[in-house]
Amino acid sequence: MENRKYFIVTVPNENMIHALDVCIGDNEDQRWNLAEDELLVKTTDDLINTKINSGVSRTKIFPKGLTTEYTYEEVLALMGTIEWVIPLV
């Protein structure tokens, strides 16, 4: 999967625009949790490095304390939880 990386970023935070800049796909198509206080950022090392090479630090893109990195398997499990999926009634 072309070295994809997965992060959950807590919002609001002042650096959110940097995380959105490295997302794969359109910003308006990104996955938010139901409370809309966490965003799944799917990205690659290349996108992150391009942003870093433009002068933005990694901690600005993914602020410590507001960001958690996940594996593909962890993200799949997380996306199936009640925080991310509207329950069927």
Q: Is residue 87, in this structure, part of any structural domain at all?
A: no
How many domains is the chain partitioned into structurally? Answer: 1
Q: Is residue 86, in this structure, part of any structural domain at all?
A: no
CATH number at residue 39: 3.30.70
Residue 43: band (very low, low, confident or very high) from pLDDT cuts 50, 70, 90 = very high
The per-residue pLDDT for range 54-79, each reduced to its tens digit, is 999 999 999 999 999 999 999 999 99
CA–CA gap between residue 28 and residue 72 (Å, rounded): 21
Q: Is residue 69, in this structure, part of any structural domain at all?
A: yes
Q: Is residue 85, in this structure, part of any structural domain at all?
A: no
Please report the pLDDT score of residue 2 as a whole number.
65
Find the domain containing 38 and state its range.
Answer: 4-79
Q: Is residue 88, in this structure, part of any structural domain at all?
A: no
Across the strands, what pairs with 38?
A: 10
Cβ burial 26-54 (10 Å sphere, 16+ → b, else e): eeeebeebeeeebbbbbbeeebbeebeee
Q: Is residue 27, in this structure, part of any structural domain at all?
A: yes
Backbone φ, ψ for residue 85 (5° rounding): -125, 130
Q: Is residue 57, in this structure, part of any structural domain at all?
A: yes
The per-residue pLDDT for range 3-39, each reduced to its tens digit, is 899 999 998 888 889 999 999 988 888 899 999 999 9
What six digits make up the tokens of 20? 């959105």
Q: Is residue 56, in this structure, part of any structural domain at all?
A: yes
pTM, 2 dp: 0.87
